[in-house]
Structure formats: C-alpha cells, structure tokens
Amino acid sequence: MAIYNPKSLKAEEFINHEEILDTIRYAEENKHNLALIDEILAKARPVKSADGTQTHCAGLSHRDASVLLACDIPEKVAEMYELAEEIKQAFYGNRIVMFAPLYLSNYCVNGCVYCPYHMKNKHIARIKLSQEEIKREVIALQDMGHKRLAIEAGEDPVNNPIEYILESIKTIYSIHHKNGDIRRVNVNIAATTVENYRKLKEAGIGTYILFQETYNKKSYLELHPTGPKHDYDYHTEAMDRAMEGGIDDVGLGVLFGLEGYQYEFAGLMMHAEHLEAVHGVGPHTISVPRVKHADDIDPDAFDNGLADDIFEKIAACIRIAVPYTGMIISTRESQEVREKMLQLGVSQISGASRTSVGGYCEEERPHDSEQFDVSDQRSLDEVVDWLMQLGFIPSFCTACYREGRTGDRFMSLCKNGQILNCCHPNALMTLTEYLVDYASEETKKHGFELIEKELEKIPKEKVREIARKNIEDIKASNRRDFRF
C-alpha cells in the first residue's frame, strides 16, 4: 500500500487515498470538538510583527482545514467567514483582479463525460481559430478593457499541438490596439512534458493552470474513460513537471460536483502542501468551478452537486488554509453567488466571459461551441461598476509578473505584507487606465470617486504622491503602463 508522503513525486503518495479517507473520518469525529476548532482557528489567525509592519499567516494542514469544513456549529461557521475575510484583507486588500478566458480550439481527443468537447460529441461545432481570428478576438477583448487572458484549448496533438499554442501566445502579445495591450497570458491546457513547459515559460506565460477535475483515482478513471487524460498519475504529477520546466506560478482546481466535496477539498489541500514541500512555493491560484449545464451535459447526472452554502464554506476554508494563494471564481456562477464569494476570500474574477471558440467578435453570444453555460452575462463595464459599488478595486494589474515577482519571490513579498505597498497603487493606476479608455460615464464617475478615496490609504507618502502624479498623467495623455 502507498504511504502518504507530501515530498514524494508519485501521485499515489502525495495524494494518498487512505490518508484522505482517514482525514474525512477525523474531521467527522471532531466536527463538534469546540476546543480543537478554537485551537485551529487561533492557529490560522493573521499575526502582526512587533513593529506592526508585517503580517504572517500560518495556514492549516489538510486535516485541520477538513475539521473546519466539517464543522456545522453556526457561530463557528460565522467565525470562519469573518476570519476568511480578515485574511483576504490582510494580504490582498480590497483588490479584485480581472481576467477573461479565450478559447482557441475545442478539438479534443479525450472522452471526459462532464465536458461537451468530448470526442464522441458529433453535433457540437468544432472550431479552431486561425492566427488572424485570434487577432480579432484579442482586439475585441482589448476594446472591452481586458489586460489579462487565460487561454484554453482541448487536447488534440494534431489540431492543437504545442506549436499552435506557442504561436497563439506570440500573436496575443504582439497586438497593440489603440491604448490596449494584453500584458499577461495564463495558459490552461492539458498536462504535457517538461520540455513543453519549458517552451511555455520561454513564451512568457503567466500562470499555468490545470484542473485536477477529481482527486479520487477510481472516479477519475471512470470520468475519463478514453484519451490521454485517462492517465491519472501523468495528469496529477503535471504541476511538478511544470515547475521543473521553470514555470513559477501554477494554478490548481477541481470541478466540484464530480466527487464528494470532502474528498476533493482534502485532495486540493494536500496538493498545495505537496507543492510547498517539494518546490518551496504553493499554488499561485486555486479555482473553484462547479459542474454546469453544457451542450450535451446535464449537471444533474452527477450526484455530488453542491449547495451554495457548502460551496461558500469551501471557499472560506481554502482562504484560511492557504492564505497566500489567489482564489478564482468564474462566470459559471451567478452574480449573487459571486458577490458572496468575494466576501469569503476570492481575489480574481472573470468578466464578460464567452466560453465558445471565437465568441468575442460576435454581437450575440454564440452557444454552438460553448464549454459551459455562463450564469453571469453582464458586460465588463457592468462588472467593474458593480465591484466598485461593493467597495472593491477592480485591478487590471500585471506588474508582479512583468517585474519578475513570481513564484517564491511573489510569495515572500505576500507573506511579509510588502505586496500591498506596490499592489494597491498599481491597481489604482490600471483602474484609471480602464476608466479613461473604456468605461461608461456612470462607471467613470464612481471610479474616480473610489480612486480618490483609496489613494489616501497608501501608507507611504512618497508612493502615494507618485501614484497620484501617474494617475493624472494617464488622465491627461496616452501614457500608460506605470507600475511599482
């Protein structure tokens, strides 16, 4: 039998089935153990340094985090939610990073039973964008105001080889339209080789994102009956190959609803612990998608669907357990759910997403090649204005990635709280760019009021004055891309 070992490079040892089952049992036995729950919450609280300039969070083990997830004592759950918000404020402030997915191709050779791109689906329109079509999509995204994309493609070595992905990245970075630029391209493609990860790194990608879908190997093999994705170990060990290939920032995620959420949560936390143990840096992001309706996919066919209250508790527990990671929620979720999740630790959201291949150039949202139904269908301007009305700063900042503050360098800055000295003003400057170049009059009005208020929160006077001057320059000219 495989032994649990977070430092192992073997999937069955760092995501150990017996350890997960033991963890779930332990959590169930201790879900009303008040002394233990209070001890876990105390351990997770942010601690300020003696001089008050730095904040540290210990995070939690997968076992401790699973106890919190199992706990159903109302006042303790309320305490968890307050703690999640406190941790989010300590390290990310009120900034929410904006991005959009860009689907390049839905050709796929896999048989994943929860995805409409599966090979046996003969009636979905199969589309692969040419470089010229990618240019048009990118210009449409730039005209909305986006600066950060996550590119997506099905797994198909003939139609979507690594060369196509690399060429597409080069095309995206090459397009300068009016005041628009895509400054960071994150990549969500199938597990690949160390050599290919090296090529992605050289192409200048931001984060490499790969969802595990499910950590339960038996379920995984049933859900992925055919195609290269059927290989559980190769898929689960992908992040180690990515980091070996030089990619500093990797993003984890599971598709909640495919397997029992307690199992997925423990597996996700163990994967984060593994990356920290082996590479010295945990996941840059964790995504929390749920199974949704799509072309020939009925989410009710999966019997592990998550109620909103459990979904929200998962988000809070992830934020408490892995305090420095970015948390992502997509337009799969409704405005109401996204609003709640923003209070519980989410730090990145997509806006005006289209999950079809070639969807951004169309006036009407195309449905014939969508990967999943989009619940939040508002425009980027509406999402930006909504965030500001809630007291958040929509951030289009990509400075850390372009200044080399990635991987352990980003994490060390984040862990000592110094990231706020550059992230807050950078967020305000990129928001100013959005307001000047793309926003409606109503959004501009709200935005400039918010910026004026938020400038006063920058602790260092010198930084505050430079930020103020740069903001005035952006308003008065076409000068862009100021950054700390």
pLDDT at 170: 98
Angle (CA) 145 365 336, round 5°: 75
Task: Tell which residue, 75, 103, 65, 141, has the closest CA to residue 345.
Answer: 65
Contacts of 142 (CB under 8 A, 6+ apart): 175, 177, 178, 180, 181, 182
**Alpha-carbon gap, residue 389 to 392, rounded angstroms:** 7
pLDDT tens track, the chain, 484 positions: 789 999 999 999 999 999 999 999 999 999 999 999 999 999 999 998 887 777 889 999 999 999 999 999 999 999 999 999 999 998 899 999 999 999 999 999 999 988 888 888 778 889 999 999 999 999 999 999 999 999 999 999 999 999 999 999 999 999 999 999 999 999 999 999 999 999 999 999 999 999 999 999 999 999 999 999 999 999 999 999 999 999 999 999 999 999 999 999 999 999 999 999 999 999 999 999 998 655 555 656 655 678 999 999 999 999 999 999 999 998 889 999 999 999 999 999 999 998 889 889 887 655 555 555 677 889 999 999 999 999 999 999 998 878 888 877 777 767 666 666 789 999 999 999 999 999 999 999 999 999 999 999 998 899 999 999 999 999 999 999 999 8
Taking each helix axis as running N to C, give the angle between helix 419-437 and helix 74-92, from 0 to 180 degrees, rounded to the nearest 10. 80
| Domains of the chain by residue range | 11-90, 94-377, 418-476
Please tell us whether the domain made up of 94-377 is placed in CATH 3.20.20.70: yes
Query: What's the DSSP call for residue 192?
Result: -
Beta-strand runs (E) in 21-78: 47-48, 55-56
**Alpha-carbon gap, residue 269 to 26, rounded angstroms:** 15
pLDDT at 419: 64
Asked if residue 66 lies in contact with residue 25, where contact means CB atoms within 8 angstroms, the answer is no
pLDDT at 208: 98
Query: What's the DSSP call for residue 53?
Result: S
Q: What is the 3-state secondary structure (H, E, C) of 216-260?
A: CHHHHHHHCCCCHHHCHHHHHCHHHHHHHCCCCCEEEEECECCCC
**Alpha-carbon gap, residue 458 to 454, rounded angstroms:** 7
User: What are φ and ψ of residue 427, in 5° steps?
Assistant: -65, -45
Per the listing, tokens 């449905």 go with: 367
Tokens for 107? 């050709």
Integer CA distances (angstroms), 346 to 68, 84, 120, in order: 18, 10, 35
Task: Tell which residue, 311, 319, 320, 375, has the closest CA to residue 347.
Answer: 319
Asked if residue 463 lies in contact with residue 421, where contact means CB atoms within 8 angstroms, the answer is yes
**Alpha-carbon gap, residue 321 to 333, rounded angstroms:** 23
Per the listing, tokens 């195609």 go with: 227
Query: What's the DSSP call for residue 45?
Result: S
**Alpha-carbon gap, residue 357 to 185, rounded angstroms:** 17
In b/e form, how buried is each residue of 398-429, taking b as 16+ CB within 10 angstroms?
bbbbeeebbbeebbebbbebebbbbbbbbbbb
Helix H or strand E segment including 326: strand 326-329
Answer positive or negative: Cα dihedral of 380, 385, 389, 394: positive
pLDDT at 295: 55
pLDDT at 371: 54
**Alpha-carbon gap, residue 212 to 268, rounded angstroms:** 9
**Alpha-carbon gap, residue 37 to 453, rounded angstroms:** 38
Alpha-carbon Rg for the chain, nearest whole angstrom, is 22
| Cα 89–chain centre separation | 17
Task: Tell which residue, 46, 71, 81, 74, has the closest CA to residue 60.
Answer: 46
